[in-house]
Amino acid sequence: MFRFFETLVDPYCDYPEDDCPPRDLWSFFMGYSQPFKKVFALTAFMSIVVAAIEVGLIYYMGRIVDVLEEGPEQMWAQHGTELIVVALLIVFLRPVLQAIDVALINNAILPNFGTLIRWRAHRQVLRQSVGWFENDFAGRIANRIMQTPPAAGEVVFQAFDAISFSLAYLIGAAILLTSADPRLLVPLIIWFGLYLVLSRWAIRRIGPASKAASDARSAVTGRVVDAYTNIHSVKMFAHHDREEMYAKEAIEDARITFQAEQRIFTTMDFSLVLLNGLLIVGVVGWALALWVNGQASVGTVAAAATLTLRLNSMTAWIMWALSAFFRQLGVVAEGMETIAQPITLVDMVGAKPLALTRGRIEMTALSHHYGRTSGGLNGIDLVIEPGQKVGLIGRSGAGKSTLLKLLLRFYDAEFGRIEIDGQDITHVTQDSLRRQIGMVQQDSALLHRSVIDNIRYGRPEASEEEAIDAARRAEAHEFIGELRDPEGRTGYASRVGERGVKLSGGQRQRVTLARVILKDAPILLLDEATSALDSEVEAAIQETLYGMMEGKTVIAIAHRLSTIAQMDRILVLDEGQVVEDGDHDALLAAGGLYAQFWARQSGGFLKTEDNDA
């Protein structure tokens, strides 16, 4: 039975991706709810059926009270069959209908609805550009991806389990009281009006208060994760106290916003108890008055009393359900600030895969300043011929890393264009572009997976033997064989930790090199590829690096000028422009910036850091 309900909706079903998802809550829910339309309709119907049965039971208990006045023998003779049929319905049919209602909510909707939102939200966020991720905390993004699905599931749960049930129950109660005596409906209507006023008061405050509390919790998560992610810096600079106070500010803000939220609930609870007292006195008192005047039966009084007591117990639940409903809507609204952001860097309509034939790169009037007035690149005109090896040097902020990011289309250039083999990179698919480019970065972060998985990330279809061969060429095979993680996995099966923290900088760099060797892309970008290696290891893999470059178009950034002195060309960038272009000997003879850098270097290093935007 469980399997039947659990498979009514496939949370991973195909859907049209939207680069500009809806930003309002209703459209958000409607979009994600499309696969659940039929299940939602059936669940709403079952909630009404279950509520009708509950009201019917109260009505029938009142009828039994009236029947009892006829005496035992008369009651059984005239109503025996009816009582048996009703008993059988209560024992057998009612549990089945209740089970269907519960299974629809608990088994068909809740697991699948949350999964569908989490899956689609994760896919949506993964499509965002590198620049988008650089403008937010990874912890806050992850927190919103994780908290939005259960909050959305809670909204749906309350909508069917409480709101639709209670509305159906209230309508049934009104019908029951009207059938007994229309005047009994008056106190119910007055109570319901006051209840709506209280609900409206609470709802208007709970939504914003819940969103503020959710924002505050996300801020705490962001700050805490930021400290954990950079724990080496925290320890190295002995800034425990600063991090504690930094987190405390956010934690205190979360406490204050939560207090404001709870004040609303306390006020709501007190008001609700007062309203329910008026309901009980109004309906039961009026029913007693009618009975005294001979205008209502004992069964009517019993049914009215039972109904109001049931409503009394239900109203707190309904109010809390409404509160939870709108509180979770606030959480969803906060999550939408991340999930529903438009994708700004997209493939153009009709974009085709890059058809790389030779590897010729041409940049025309290329400018990019990250929306600022300085930094980045300024009007670059550059042609790199197929198979050419180009070294790129310059002071910090000269635009070297920006050039590589634009070539990878991590950003769209503000002005100008880049062409590969005559194809504008904005006219081809991003995935096809990046599959043709291999890159080794200065920050050699790894995935928290096994060593073999990290190497095969460069080419997932590669065999284990090919991955191990790439590790040998990157001078990584020997140290990998000695690895052992806390779970007892060894060698290539061992996990490397978050961002590869269980490995040294040089070890991470060699695993990264192995990954790029395995990828074997025709265009190769090296951004301080040997910066984390000691001289002995660098010398050992220098031949491998040159072997990697063979037959490829290469752009290499290096501060160790000796590593690029053998390049076909060396480009010197300064303030976003190419100021020198030539081979090592020609640039030395020209006596310009390159010659100054060469003269100033000590031990082969350029005395500047590469932190350019």
CATH code (residue 70): 1.20.1560.10
Tokens at residue 178, please? 């009207």
Which one is predicted more confidently, 402 or 333? 402
Question: Which comes out higher in pLDDT, residue 413 or 497?
Answer: 413
pLDDT for res 613: 46
Tell me, yes or no, whether 325 and 385 share the same domain: no
Q: How confident is the model at residue 541 (pLDDT cuts 50, 70, 90)?
A: low
Cα dihedral: 262, 264, 270, 271 (round 10): -160
The pLDDT of residue 465: 93
User: Mean of the pLDDT values across residues 184-195?
Assistant: 82
Residue 271 lies in a domain: yes
**Mean pLDDT across 607-611:** 47
Provide mean pLDDT across the span 456-482: 91
Instruction: Give phi and psi for 168, each to the nearest 5.
Output: -65, -40
264 shares a domain with 325:
yes
Q: Percentage of residues in the chain with pLDDT exceeding 90?
A: 29
pLDDT at residue 612 tops 50: no
Residue 334 lies in a domain: yes
Give the dihedral of Cα atoms 215, 217, 222, 227; nearest 10 deg: 150
424: confidence class by pLDDT, cuts 50, 70, 90: very high
Q: In b/e form, how buried is each residue of 300-333, taking b as 16+ CB within 10 angstroms? A: bbbbbbbbbbbbbebbeebbbbbbbbbbbbbbbb
Number of structural domains (the chain) is 2
Q: How confident is the model at residue 606 (pLDDT cuts 50, 70, 90)?
A: low
Instruction: Verify that 361 and 333 share a domain, yes or no.
Output: no
Domain of residue 416, residue span: 354-436+566-613
Question: What per-residue confidence (pLDDT) applies to 609?
Answer: 46
Instruction: Answer yes or no: do 79 and 34 share one domain.
Output: yes
Does residue 195 sit within a domain?
yes
Q: Kindly report the CATH number assigned to the domain that includes residue 385.
A: 3.40.50.300
| Token duo for residue 19 | 């680069």
Quote the CA–CA distance of 286 and 191 in Å, as a whole number.
Answer: 14
Q: For residue 173, give both structure tokens.
A: 């109660």
Q: Which of the residue ranges 17-31, 65-79, 518-532 would you say has the lowest mean pLDDT?
A: 65-79
Question: Is the entire prediction scored with pTM above 0.85?
Answer: no
What is the arithmetic mean of pLDDT over 552-564? 83
pLDDT of residue 134 exceeding 50, the answer is yes
Cβ-proximal residues to 140 (8 Å cutoff; 6+ apart), any chain: 218, 219, 221, 222, 225, 338
The answer to whether residue 535 scores a pLDDT higher than 70 is no
What value does the mean pLDDT take over residues 45-65? 81
Residues 325 and 365 in one domain: no
Query: Rounded CA gap, 439 and 553, in Å?
Result: 12
* Mean pLDDT score across all residues of the chain: 84
Question: Is residue 317 domain-shared with residue 359, that is, in the same domain?
Answer: no
Mean pLDDT, residues 277-283 taken together: 81
Strand order in the sheet with 377-384: 377-384, 361-368, 415-420, 423-424
Same structural domain, 130 and 160: yes
The rounded distance, in Å, linking the Cα atoms of 84 and 252 is: 62
Tell which of 293, 315, 339 closes a domain.
339
Q: What sign does the CA torsion over 602, 605, 611, 612 have?
A: positive
pLDDT higher at 70 or 36 = 36
Q: How confident is the model over 394-404, as a mean pLDDT? A: 87
